[in-house]
Amino acid sequence: MPLTVHRFEETINGRAYHIEVSPVGRDQWRAQIAHRPGGSRATMPFYGRTPDEAAHQLSKWLTLANGRSTPKV
């Protein structure tokens, strides 16, 4: 059976991310940042019941992790 990989492109806080989602079990999908030459998959994977849900979980975390803090006045 061929491996089905879904690919998503997200722009979060002005930075482009390429997300790959692959099946790991029945009704379970794993999302991670796509490996690029010279890069790494340094973030932990995120899981969901569908490819969209798994990608959304990772996108949500990236938004929080890369958010801009409000300046102190």
More confident residue, 18 or 73: 18
| Each residue's pLDDT tens digit, 13-69 | 888 889 999 999 999 999 999 877 666 556 788 999 999 999 999 999 988 887 755
Q: For residue 20, what are its two tokens?
A: 């790959």
In single-letter form, the type of residue at position 35 comes to H
Is the CB of residue 31 less than 8 Å from the CB of residue 47? Answer: yes
- 30 secondary structure, DSSP code: E
pTM: 0.77
The domain spans of the chain are 6-65
